[in-house]
Amino acid sequence: MDTTLELKGVSKRYEDFSLSDVSFSLPRGYIMGLIGPNGAGKTTLVKLILNLVRRDGGEILAFGKDVRDDEIAVRSRIGFVHEAPTFYDHLSVERLASVVAPFYASWDAALFHRLARQFELPLKKVAWRLSRGTRTKLALALALAHRAELLVLDEPTSGLDPVFRRELLDHLLACIEDGRTSVLFSTHITSDLDRVADYVTFIQKGRILFSSPKDTLQERWAVVKGGPELLTDELRRLLRGVEVGEFGFTALTDDVDAVRRRLGRLPVVIEQASFEDVMVHLR
Amino acid sequence: MLKLLVRDFRVVRWDLWLHAVMAIPASRHAQALFVVGVALAIVLVVAVPGLEWMFDTDRFVCSLPVSRATLVLGRYLSAFVAVALSLAVWMGSAALLSRRFAGADPNLSQWVSLDGAVAYCVILTLVVALFLPCYFRYGLGKGAAVFAVGVMALGGVLAGLRWIVRAALGNVAPDLTAVDLDAARTLARFIWIAIVAAIATGSAALSVRFHRRREF
């Protein structure tokens, strides 16, 4: 399988935070969701991929090329949408497109206009008068109009109303239909992943906890609920993120068979974990 | 780099009109017209960084397929083209006003000369060469403050040097009878241009280094 993006042992140190040994890969033609709580390192990771911050170690390859050594070639094939997109706000949508277009050899003006119609972008309106959702759509149109092969979106759905959010996610699904475009988007809204992601990478405190196909993850993790008397030390060893309440415990496990063997016919509930369960229990 | 230049002028094309409009009231005093010309050129040079700072577009610009070095050199190119355009507008308006505008300062035509143009370019090139490294190192807000402190410090150093030279040579009366003044003037122009070009080149190299170290 062709790989669009590959990170190998990437690290970045700040005074109060560090990313350590980040490795994952995104196959061509798929959508990967990068999830994690606020401050987990998602935005730093996105910036590293775009070479907006310098990495301290490791390797980041996009289309088989190092994003630092082949910066221009790589960036010309990447489309970037930030959580709060910034533009020259005093320019109209149309003029902004004309400012961005010359930087991309593959810019397709007809495609931009088609996307503008589809996204209902007001071409004559100055950027500062656009709503938060419309700005995100404009950023997406600018990213798509140069026929980007990798879309990198940093929390694109954050702060959008549900209608806009669904529309945006549907656009992402439409993007990968050609089989050549891949999407990496960071989010802490787990329902976005359920809707569009093929792969999920979970980052927490600067470390990757897992990165695998969505279906595998959903098969792997389960939520275990039971009475407090069942929570022995032996059982605890099979569980993660145990939360004990007045009426019982809730925890996550990635070894359902072992838990079943251990608990036998005892009254427990074992159910498939949602991404939210995984995020909450692994935080 | 040309793309960056075109982008910059698409973003701030309004400033050149200001030159022409401001030239008329300022033309009553030749020096005022010079100062207005220089000030508006500085506005033109600072306008794009100012807009980028105001709209926080650094991340957007740095995500375009352009190297950091090209971004910096593009900004220098834009600045020098801005200076050249301002010079053309200023010289043009000064020349026109000195002939056509009855209220214009009679000394105005003196500024419309090679020396006037060299003085204009030297001042603005120094401003660009000092301002842009501060901007690329610290961003606009902090960079402008560092630039202002730097200019004041430089002014102090130059004033001090002038005082020392005067104190040392105070009683020496130069004998200018043997000097070909035209040749000396030409030489002085070349020396000024060479010094300023060297400063601008050093400044650009420093800015590239600073900008490569910045993270967005």
CATH of domain A3-218: 3.40.50.300
Task: Give the H/E segment covering residue B130.
Answer: helix B114-138
Cβ within 8 Å of B, A 104-163: 104
Higher confidence at residue A187 or residue B18?
Answer: A187
Higher confidence at residue A39 or residue B28?
Answer: A39
Residues A99-152 have pLDDT tens digits of 899 999 999 999 999 999 988 999 999 998 998 889 989 999 999 999 999 999
To test the contact with chain A by mutation, choose from B60, B67, B78 the residue with the greatest count of A C-beta atoms within 10 A, namely: B60
* Segment among A17-21, B26-30, B77-81, B208-212 with least mean pLDDT: B26-30
- The residue of chain A nearest to residue B66, with distances taken between CA atoms, is A72
Task: Give the H/E segment covering residue A12.
Answer: strand A3-13
To test the contact with chain B by mutation, choose from A86, A92, A95 the residue with the greatest count of B C-beta atoms within 10 A, namely: A86
All residues of chain A having their beta carbon less than 8 Å from the beta carbon of residue B215 are: 47, 52-54
What is the side-by-side order of every strand in the sheet holding A268-272? A240-244, A249-253, A222-226, A268-272
- Look at residue A10 in the predicted model and tell me its pLDDT: 95
Q: A239 and chain B: CB distance < 8 Å anywhere?
A: no
Task: Give the H/E segment covering residue A26.
Answer: strand A18-27
DSSP A59-115: EEEETTEETTTTHHHHHTTEEEE-SS----TTSBHHHHHHHHGGG-TT--HHHHHHH
d(CA B193, CA B126): 11
Which of A80, A87, A95 has its CB closest to that of B57?
A87
Average pLDDT over residues B61-90: 86
Nearest CA to A282 out of A225, A242, A238 is that of A242
Residues from B in contact with A at Cβ < 8 Å: 3, 6-7, 10-11, 51-52, 55-57, 59-60, 62-67, 215-216
Average pLDDT over residues B189-204: 88
* Segment among A64-68, B43-47, B197-201, B208-212 with least mean pLDDT: B43-47
Give residue limits of the domains in chain B. Answer: 2-213
- The residue of chain A nearest to residue B53, with distances taken between CA atoms, is A88
Which of A52, A78, A88 has its CB closest to that of B62?
A52
* Segment among B47-56, B88-97, B99-108, B126-135 with least mean pLDDT: B99-108
Name the percent of chain B lying above pLDDT 90: 13
Contact B65 A75 (CB under 8 A): yes
Classified by CATH at the fold level, domain A221-281 comes out as Alpha-Beta Plaits (3.30.70)
- Look at residue B172 in the predicted model and tell me its pLDDT: 62
Higher confidence at residue B137 or residue B176?
Answer: B137
Give residue limits of the domains in chain A. Answer: 3-218, 221-281
Residue B211's SS3 state is helix
CB B4 within 8 A of CB B71: yes
Low-confidence residues of chain A: pLDDT under 50:
none
* Cβ contacts from A onto B, under 8 A: 60
- Look at residue A60 in the predicted model and tell me its pLDDT: 95
All residues of chain B having their beta carbon less than 8 Å from the beta carbon of residue A89 are: 55
